[in-house]
Chains A and B, each alone.
Chain A
Amino acid sequence: MVVKAISELYHEMLYWHIRKLVKRHQDADDVLQNTYIRIFKGLKSFGYRSSIKTWCFRIAYNESMRLLQKQQKFEYTNGEPELTDHLSTLTADPYFDLDSVSHAFHESLIKLPEKQQRIFQMKYFEELTFDEIAEITKWNKNSIKTGFYAAKEKIIIHVKATE
């Protein structure tokens, strides 16, 4: 079974990829399940236009975006915009430990614009190449590079300033 092989190789990686996008553990767990279902259903039509790893990550990315859009719509209609705030989302999660975090790094990361944050996390934590990030997000490769170096610069300045 191909899905079994995929899960052996990428299960943890896919989880962390999703977790960084949706923040909360419970959401990441739900999105991971949907990702597997999509992978399972889409395998027959997988055309090898990209590597299977990139394809799986793209599905996980799209599923995460779908959840975030749904949450934004819900928060908007229920008049709870404060929930969209990054830090309040994180601290509401029982599986977030603020005390163990490198404060300066974390603070600088959450201050980044959403797009730069995503690019930086994919490059730094998941060690994805610029090509892979472009394939997953469907963003322009050059703007990804620019975004990554800008994010890196901002983080370095912030961390040095707080030391």
Chain B
Amino acid sequence: MNQKRLHKEQLGYEVPEGYFESSKKEMLNFLNEEESKAPGFFGSKAILTITVLGIMAFAFLLVQKQQVANYEINRFEELTIESLEISDEAFDDWFDEKFVFSEF
């Protein structure tokens, strides 16, 4: 027996006229739209590339920052050692030259 008829006669269930055809069409259209919205292979590849580039840029900046910090530490050490050889009379001039004027 036809499913529609069986359900109507034995359970009293009815459906609107043309429901199955229209709902199927509606659903497939909706899923087609969803599929076109979802990132495909190239979309995923682009996301992956952007992520990798982002990580690389972050790592580069981190290394740069570390190098600047290292340079400052080394320079401080050099100057401290150098200062040991400066006499007390010449210290003020040396300090101005190395620390005050070097800032400009």
Q: Is the CB of B31 within 8 A of A40?
A: yes
Determine chain A's interface SS by DSSP, over half rule: helix
- Number of B residues near A (Cβ < 8 Å) is 23
Contact between B28 and A4, CB atoms less than 8 A apart: yes
- Known contacts A19-B7, A102-B10, A125-B6, A11 near B34 by CB under 8 Å: no
How many A-B pairs have beta carbons closer than 8 Å: the answer is 77
CB distance from B74 to the nearest CB of A (A): 55
How does the 8 Å CB contact mask read for B1-23 relative to A, with 1 for contact and 0 for none? Answer: 00110111111111110001001
Cβ-closest chain B residue relative to A32? B23
B16 and A12 contacting across the interface, CB-CB below 8 Å: no
19 contacts between A and B (CB under 8 A): A1-B28, A7-B27, A12-B4, A15-B15, A15-B20, A16-B3, A19-B13, A20-B13, A37-B31, A95-B16, A96-B13, A96-B14, A97-B12, A99-B12, A100-B12, A101-B12, A102-B9, A125-B7, A125-B10
Establish whether residues B7 and A7, one from each chain, have CB atoms under 8 Å apart when the complex forms.
no
Interface size on A, residues (CB 8 A): 31
